[in-house]
Structure 1
Amino acid sequence: WLRSNFSSEILPARPTLFDFHGVSMTKHFTDNWENTQNFKARPDDILIATYPKSGTTWVCYMLNLLYFGNMSPERQKSVTLNERVPFLELCAPPRPKGKDLADQLPTSPRLIKTHLPVQFVPKSFWEQRCRIVYVAHNSKDTVVSYYHFGRMNSLHPELGDWSTFLQDFMEGKMVFGSWYKHVNSWWEKKQTYSKLHYMFYEDLTEDSGREIDRLCSFLGLFPSAEEKEKVRAAVMFDNMKQNKMVNGSTVQIMNHDVSPFMRKGKVADWKNHFTVSQNERFDEDYKQKMKNPTLHFRTEV
């Protein structure tokens, strides 16, 4: 255990990555596995699923405001987004387990987030025909964002330098496994499961108003133009970055001095990190792994 220099809390040593049913994971997401798998979903639950660093917080906050923004303004100011939209598989004592927080949610519908690959999602979500919102982010910006997140988050394994991390990403040696498998298998699921709405981070950046409209239409919500505008303004990156209930500043395991949790919120930041040769190698590898002709990502907007 290490004493952190930015709070009085004793930080756990960083976990090690291991193979878990074919997916790289750490104990913080597998320790409560049986309970997580036996989670009892309700028909009106909404699952927000993403590969890490894909706009999860953005979409969680958007949904939270669409459903509960008017209903309980005081909750918005006093309860963190992590408690309003629990992280289902998280198990990092002494914090409460994500599954327990989800069980105790007082809201209806319950909004729950997960980074699980599609094959690991508790089966009750499918049995109850829950609505699922999946958010995908282009691979180059995801790996950059994940790198900075790994540097500041003690729940993640020790990471090497940028070039090592990039290679690990290409090989799927990341918490929650391969980005390629994650986005592709969720995309395939969408073809057979009609209650899955697949969104792209780049589309959100380009026109969040349009994406909010699409979300509302998927969820059967009919907010007024004024309400929608309020949500759109609240979820703008700079506004979220200032919002203590949303920006991760209350989370002790993150060292914002190393890198802020909400860093840039832009598309194409990868250009500031990839060398020319890294980019060429990455593109070559990408072509091998992204065979689905119907799934397209944009690396700039």
Structure 2
Amino acid sequence: MQLNNNVTEFILLGLTQDPVRKKIVFVTFLLFYLGTLLGNFLIITTIKTSRTLGSPMYFFLFHLSLSDTCFCTSIAPRMIVDALLKKTTISFSECMIQVFSLHFFGCLGIFILILMAADRYVAICKPLHYTTIMSRWVCAVLVAVAWVGSCMHSLTQIFLALSLPFCGPNVIDHYFCDLQPLLKLACADTYVINLLLVSNSGAICTVSFVMLMCSYVIILYSLRNHSAEGRRKALSTCISHIIVVILFFGPCIFIYTRPATTFPMDKMIAVFYTLGTPLINPLIYTLRNTEVKTAMRKLWGRKLILDDKR
């Protein structure tokens, strides 16, 4: 389908065209990206090396950090480099790859959040059957299903993008490729494709958000029968998850559940869920989680001891 298009590359306008503001964007988002890599790398390394973080919750947290890192990496490096250039272009093929990776890792993060909510539900509401229901094999299968489901979702997005004819202009008023801004450039009626986009990405975001919030309401309601200590620990974990869910799904629902129209705040909202949430997640899961902080201190202490022996 690409061969039928007259457009071989797109021009990305980015967040701003002002030279001074572009330098501010470069510094700010370089720091954001480095912070995201550092935070998620610490979580991934800690979970992989710690013997105390072997429960399903941390198995899912490992994959969430991995998906956050890849999700951010699919956008941030190019955005940072583009902030230094006067004219930023992206080839048609690179644009399609970015659409695929953005939706693949974004959808994977959504599915992992659902698995984490399911894990908390079983742990709190069915504690006697927890080890049987959430066995290592079951968790591995659930994560594998999440990866396959994300791939299917991304392939759908690519199919929709490749079905769009582009005759010009080729200027994307955004800092990355996505179906919403691409729909505005298509030289054909995009009503059906936009409807498919809303029923795909929009439905996944909305239904997942409703499912997650309902599950946490049930979990919080069931805590009334627990001891004060058990209630405090469960509340700390659940509140962390709820914060992540609201921060991620709020912007996604705003972007993907409406017609192909753009608003002035769209790019800033996109910044929040593409770069902000992957940075905030490690902070939420470490600062509010005693087990993770303890495991990180042990890992750092063990590293210092090894360095002293050398």
TM-score, normalising length: structure 1? 0.26
Question: Which of the two has greater helix per residue?
Answer: 2
Question: Which of the two has greater strand per residue?
Answer: 1
Report which of the two structures shows the higher radius of gyration computed on alpha carbons.
2
